[in-house]
Amino acid sequence: MTEGEPLIRWDWIASHLDEFAFRLGEHVELTVIAVGVGFVIAFALSLLILRAPRTEGPITAVTGTMYTIPSLALFALLIPYTGLTVVTAEIGLVSYTLLILVRNIVRGIRGVPADVREAAVGMGYAPREVLWRIELPLALAVIIAGVRLATISTIGLVTVTSLIGQGGFGFLILIGIQRFFTTELIAGAVLSVALAILADALLVLLQRRLTPWARAA
Amino acid sequence: MEFRDVSKRYAGQLAVDQLSFKVPAGRICVLVGPSGSGKTTSLKMVNRLIEPTGGSILIDGRDVLREEPTALRRRIGYVIQQVGLFPHQTIAENVGTVPRLLGWPKERIAARTEQLLALVGLEPSRFALRYPAQLSGGERQRVGVARALAAEPPVMLMDEPFGAVDPIVRDRLQNEFLRIQRDQGTTVLFVTHDIDEAIKLGDRVAVMRGGKLVQYAPPAELLAHPVNAFVAEFVGSDRGLKRLVLLTVGGVDLDTTVARAAVSPNAPILSPASTLRDALVRMLASEAQVGIVVDRDRYLGVLTLSTIGRMIRDDT
Amino acid sequence: MTLLGDVARWFADPAHYQGSDAVQTRVLEHLEVSGLAVLVGVLLALPVGLYLGHTGRFGFIAVNVANVGRAIPSLAAIALAIPIAGTLLGAANGLGFWPTFLALIPLAIPPVLTNAYVAVRGVDGDVTEAARGMGLGEAGILRRIELPLALPLILAGIRTAAVNVVATATLGALVAFGGLGRYIVDGLALQEYDRLFAGALLVALLAIAVEVAFGTFERAAVSPGIRVQQGAL
């Protein structure tokens, strides 16, 4: 922090709105790709676990280890292979979503009451119809809760990708740190938190739209 | 519906052992027995939620094992104790489940749904668009029955469908179910552990124990002539009294030698259609200890306690 | 693969075990700042979580603290700690240990607070009722009944906090702190991939070791009469 410098220079903020918009786009893109790809992979892994429960232990161990490895370390381990690229960032970000998403998808589907499943099978739903028409709609609340957690933590982790040349709002934080410029640093941090809160609120709204029966009780 | 030497073996243990019986079309057969007697297993083999290890089950002469399970299940109504309504679908959508699976046109499903809700005593305009969570236990059970009847199945399987509701609601649901069943002529296989429910609902009662069929008979015969000590104990030491539920005042010999004017005016007036049990309660409650039996306005005779006593005694 | 050979040589080089940049020094720095932050976080969060759980009040706050905690990116926490440390402790302490330490504390609080709250809340009401009926006071109920029953979840919360803190301490290198993050940040800046990769390996192993150590401790510490509850965080 430079002496005599105010904590926040509003004129700098006013003159950098274009940059904020650009970083917002970058941040959202990195997040959406990570959560989207993560969801597809997690969904496949969850179906595997539900069909073959023996795979649950190994899958949880692997995704749990990925989740435990600090983000910066994981990016660093990838750099010699995939360089300072979006691919490195996305591999890391996707791998962090898997544990939460798999856990919630599996928990959601297992949480469907046994009597509902039995009634569906007993009335002549084919196995695939039971999954798509009964189990997934009923698991939706738990699954979206997982997507919310994954999205919030991904938005936070995207800031770390600034160290490998990506980063969205994290880029502002990193430059702010390197230049001791608190305005830019605080702007990046606040915008990142605001984006996480906004994304979470949107997902809550989505869940309400998709599960009208939950409000009827 | 017919069971032929049906067996189910789990890891070497026989859950159902050489079960054979026939249910006449349009009748209710109740499987009754203590827990672990194999009654629910037997029921679930009919719609192949459980696959038999041996034997065959015929519906209308066709072996269920030769049919495609999902198609088979769509032709069989299925009601379970926890109802299993789909919480994310409205009552109307729940009732329309099987017709939708069968690809009925929308208008036909809507009309059928409305008709069924009215049939089970739920005002369609009030209930059709609600979700299961907004209904009471008894109402949910009615929806469960309506859903099972939706595609006019010739056969219904019911697994303790009234087990989770309180006794007053259960009694009402049983009466309505009997009315609907007579009306629709559905063949029903019904599982319960409650012998009173079995006697009340069953045209035939199958008593099971340890996977074996111990006795298969109409309820009156079961009460009158239990084949062994197990059945006698299971139907209860008060089976003589229980039998009175099955007999009507019109079905026993009345004392016609007494003129109506000679009978105490305190004596209750009984109709020939009332059960002997109700008659007994009313006679004991009055001081006269006899009942005057009247069919519309015609005096038929006097029912005495000794006549009822003979009915109980005869059978024990 | 030449990289792995380079990394192996990096680890074998005695120069990397001497001086201020020695591996053992970096590990100790990393553990020191992490351990202190977790300790302070637990001291702050555990009593509050237990009290809220025991009284059942302010549950909304207790649960939402965790969600807010998740929404704060670790890089943002480190960044915001620079002006805070500078203002509180003078510009001389605006870099290095203090901002790192201050940024890690709030990361340790949410899982500990929420798990303690949820765990105590989750204790069967019949059990506390019986204890109250036998004449135990409120403090006695909390200490003798609720705490032992809630222990598995509380320890799980501390484990989550510790793993998060060890991971985030890596970023301390950005604000001129030491620790294992130093190798990664310097390796990136100097484009020395052997140093970068070695640092990343050390950080990953340290995080996994912390996770495993806490997991082992939890299994040993929990009363065998209590089935480990699944859930919360």
Greater model confidence, C136 or B314: C136
Q: CB A155 to CB C73 under 8 A?
A: yes
Q: CB C80 to CB A189 under 8 A?
A: yes
CA distance C207 to A59: 19
Tokens coding B51: 């696959």
Measured CA distances, A71 to A160, A184, C167 (Å) = 7, 23, 7
The total of structural domains in chain B comes to 2
My answer on whether B153 and B86 are in the same domain is yes
The beta-carbon neighbor of C75 closest among A7, A170, A197 is A170
Task: Tell me if there are at least 3 CB pairs under 8 Å linking chains A and B.
Answer: yes
CB-based contact (8 Å) between C209 and chain A?
no
Least confident segment among B46-50, C139-143, C158-162:
C139-143
Number of A:C CB contacts under 8 A?
136
Per-residue model confidence (pLDDT) at position B45: 95
Q: CB A216 to CB B72 under 8 A?
A: no
Q: What is the pLDDT of residues B189-214, one digit of tens each?
A: 999 999 999 999 999 999 999 999 99
Query: Chain-wide mean pLDDT for chain C?
Result: 85
Query: Chain-wide mean pLDDT for chain B?
Result: 91
Closest CA to A178 of C108, B1, C175, B117: C175
- Contacts of C110 by beta carbon, 8 Å cutoff, 6+ apart: C45, C65, C66, C68, C69, C70, C161
First vs last C-alpha separation in chain A: 55
- The whole domain housing B131 covers 2-236
SS3 B214: strand
My answer on whether B285 and B213 are in the same domain is no
Q: Which CATH number describes the domain made up of C20-221?
A: 1.10.3720.10
Local confidence band at C141 (pLDDT 50, 70, 90 cut-offs): confident
My answer on whether B257 and B178 are in the same domain is no
CA torsion angle A8 A10 A15 A16 (round to 10): 40
Task: For residue B22, give the CATH number of its domain.
Answer: 3.40.50.300
First vs last C-alpha separation in chain C: 39
Helix, strand and coil percent figures for chain A, each rounded to 5: 85, 0, 15
Question: Per-residue pLDDT for C228 more than 70?
Answer: no
CA distance A178 to A20: 18
CB-based contact (8 Å) between A88 and chain C?
no
DSSP H or E stretch at residue A47: helix A17-51
Residues of B with a Cβ under 8 Å from any A Cβ are 47, 49, 69-74, 78, 80-89, 97-98, 101, 130-131, 133-134, 147-148, 157
- Mean pLDDT for B289-307 is 88
My answer on whether B17 and B110 are in the same domain is yes
Q: CB B70 to CB A116 under 8 A?
A: no
Task: Give chain C as a 3 state SS string.
Answer: CHHHHHHHHHHHCHHHHCCCCCHHHHHHHHHHHHHHHHHHHHHHHHHHHHHHHHHCCCHHHHHHHHHHHHHCCHHHHHHHHHHHHHHHHCHHHCCCHHHHHHHHHHHHHHHHHHHHHHHHHCCCHHHHHHHHHCCCCHHHHHHHHHHHHHHHHHHHHHHHHHHHHHHHHHHHHHHCCCCCHHHHHHHHHHCCHHHHHHHHHHHHHHHHHHHHHHHHHHHHHCCCCCCCCCCCC
DSSP H or E stretch at residue A89: helix A86-110
My answer on whether B139 and B8 are in the same domain is yes
Chain B residues lying within 8 Å of A116, measured CB to CB: 84-87
CA distance B83 to B307: 44
Distance of CA B169 to the CA centre of its chain: 15
Per-residue model confidence (pLDDT) at position C143: 82
Local confidence band at C226 (pLDDT 50, 70, 90 cut-offs): low
In a domain, A14, yes or no: no
CA distance C116 to C99: 27
pLDDT more than 70, % of chain B: 99
The total of structural domains in chain A comes to 1
Per-residue model confidence (pLDDT) at position C233: 40
Q: CB C199 to CB A73 under 8 A?
A: yes
Phi first, then psi: give them for residue C177, nearest 5 degrees.
Answer: -85, 165
Local confidence band at B310 (pLDDT 50, 70, 90 cut-offs): confident
SS3 B160: coil
List chains adjacent to chain C, taking adjacency as at least 3 C-beta pairs closer than 8 Å: A
CA distance B128 to A4: 70
Q: What is the pTM of this model?
A: 0.84
Per-residue model confidence (pLDDT) at position C223: 65
Per-residue model confidence (pLDDT) at position B204: 95
Per-residue model confidence (pLDDT) at position A2: 53
My answer on whether B156 and B251 are in the same domain is no
Under 8 Å between Cβ of A188 and C79: yes
Question: Per-residue pLDDT for B22 more than 60?
Answer: yes
The residue among C6, C75, C171, C185 with the most chain A CBs within 10 A of its CB, best to mutate, is C75
The residue among A109, A116, A117, A123 with the most chain B CBs within 10 A of its CB, best to mutate, is A123
Sign of the Cα pseudo-torsion (B140, B141, B147, B149, in order):
negative
Distance from CA of A196 to the nearest CA of C (A): 6
Per-residue model confidence (pLDDT) at position C231: 40
Task: For residue A47, give the CATH number of its domain.
Answer: 1.10.3720.10
- The whole domain housing A147 covers 21-209
Task: For residue B252, give the CATH number of its domain.
Answer: 3.10.580.10
Distance from CA of C230 to the nearest CA of A (A): 11
My answer on whether B86 and B224 are in the same domain is yes
Tokens coding A125: 């739903």
My answer on whether B106 and B76 are in the same domain is yes
The beta-carbon neighbor of C171 closest among A65, A72, A76 is A72
Q: Which of residues 3-32 of C touch A (CB under 8 A)?
A: 3
Q: What is the pLDDT of residues B68-118, one digit of tens each?
A: 999 999 999 999 988 899 999 999 999 999 999 999 999 999 999 999 999
CA distance A102 to A107: 8
Domain end position, chosen among B236, B260, B288: B236
CB-based contact (8 Å) between A62 and chain C?
no
My answer on whether B190 and B284 are in the same domain is no
- Mean pLDDT for C80-88 is 85
CA distance A9 to C130: 61
Chain A residues lying within 8 Å of B89, measured CB to CB: 213
List chains adjacent to chain A, taking adjacency as at least 3 C-beta pairs closer than 8 Å: B, C
Q: Block means of pLDDT (10 residues each) for chain A, length 217 residues?
A: 71 92 96 98 97 95 92 90 93 95 96 94 93 95 94 93 92 90 90 93 93 79
CB-based contact (8 Å) between A195 and chain C?
no
Least confident segment among B35-44, B69-78, B119-128, C220-229:
C220-229
In a domain, A3, yes or no: no
Domain end position, chosen among B197, B214, B236: B236
- What letter does residue A131 receive in the DSSP assignment? I
Which residue bears the tokens 């009984």? B270
My answer on whether B284 and B182 are in the same domain is no
CA distance A137 to A131: 9
Tokens coding C137: 């006071």
CB-based contact (8 Å) between A123 and chain B?
yes
My answer on whether B128 and B271 are in the same domain is no
What sections of chain B are H helices per DSSP? 39-46, 69-74, 91-95, 97-101, 106-119, 124-127, 137-149, 167-184, 195-201, 219-224, 229-235, 239-246, 276-285, 305-314
Least confident segment among A157-171, B166-180, C54-68:
C54-68
My answer on whether B225 and B310 are in the same domain is no
Measured CA distances, B312 to B198, B202, B304, B308, B315 (Å) = 20, 21, 13, 6, 6
Tokens coding A39: 């969801």
Distance of CA C12 to the CA centre of its chain: 31
Greater model confidence, C146 or B154: B154
Which residue bears the tokens 């695939």? A128
Per-residue model confidence (pLDDT) at position C230: 42
Domain end position, chosen among B236, B253, B277: B236
Under 8 Å between Cβ of B280 and B209: no
CB-based contact (8 Å) between A113 and chain B?
yes
